[in-house]
Amino acid sequence: MPHLLSLIREDVTNVMDHDPAAKSRLEVFLCYSGLHAVWFYRMNHWLWNHGLFLIARWLSQVARWLTGIEIHPGARLGRRLFIDHGMGVVIGETSIIGDDVTLYQGVTLGGTGKEHGKRHPTLEDNVVVGGGAKILGNIIVGKNCRIGAGSVVLRNVPENSTVVGVPGHIVFREGKRVVITDPKQINDPLSEALASVASEVNKLRERVQQLEGAEHTTEPVPESLQRLMDDLDYQI
């Protein structure tokens, strides 16, 4: 609390340094609701740590009403957190956020509903989370990671990685492109469904061939279906 003013100054400077749209310190101070939410949080977290749980929760709801950003007072946020645009951001009670993290609108740091205790993610320093991304469960997103807009991240992410997609998978690591060769690495429920459809088609094709007689020639299998059938060993 005693440092609140110096933290406010630091947050404004941080936005001036990183957002090309910011024209003056006064504009940043008055118009950036992501900063207002973080300043509210700093006060609410202090109240929470001093056992004033209800007032802290109530003020976090007031902040949500004013800014559209919900930060649980029990969460632990580092320095210079920049929530850009902000509307719809949710940061759960046991989330931990390092320094110099950027979150865009619609980001959720949430639980999966299956865990107790520490059930929200930890974001290490310098992570950027794109608009609408959901990071769920007690997982760790390592330093300098970038999470693509709209991704759903359910597993730990190693440092210096870029993750995209639903479910999220790594496309860059340590500056190098990561090419997925094994469908298991994506763990997408849809690929499981496609694999079983392909398996069923394969069985039916063989049965039709038997019924029509060995001498009857059939149409060649389309290349995309053939590739899917070749990949059946990779079924999740």
Ligand X SMILES: CC(C)(COP(=O)(O)OP(=O)(O)OC[C@H]1O[C@@H](n2cnc3c(N)ncnc32)[C@H](O)[C@@H]1OP(=O)(O)O)[C@@H](O)C(=O)NCCC(=O)NCCS
User: What are the residues binding ligand X (CB under 6 A)?
Assistant: 85, 104, 130-131, 146, 148-150, 162, 164-165, 171-172
83-96 burial, b if ≥16 CB within 10 A, otherwise e?
bbbbeebbbbbbbb
Smallest gap from residue 206 Cβ to ligand X (A): 34
CA dist 107 and 46 (Å) reads: 24
Q: Residue 27 or residue 93: which is nearer to ligand X going by CB?
A: 27
CA atoms within 13 A on the CB side of 64: 16
Smallest gap from residue 84 Cβ to ligand X (A): 6
Smallest gap from residue 185 Cβ to ligand X (A): 14
The string of DSSP letters for 5-50 reads HHHHHHHHHHHHHH-TT---HHHHHHH-HHHHHHHHHHHHHHHHHT
CA dist 1 and 85 (Å) reads: 25
Smallest gap from residue 158 Cβ to ligand X (A): 16
Q: Residue 73 or residue 106: which is nearer to ligand X going by CB?
A: 106
Roughly how many angstroms between the first and final C-alpha of the chain, as a whole number? Answer: 51
Query: Residue 99, Cβ neighbours under 10 Å: how many?
Result: 14
Smallest gap from residue 213 Cβ to ligand X (A): 45
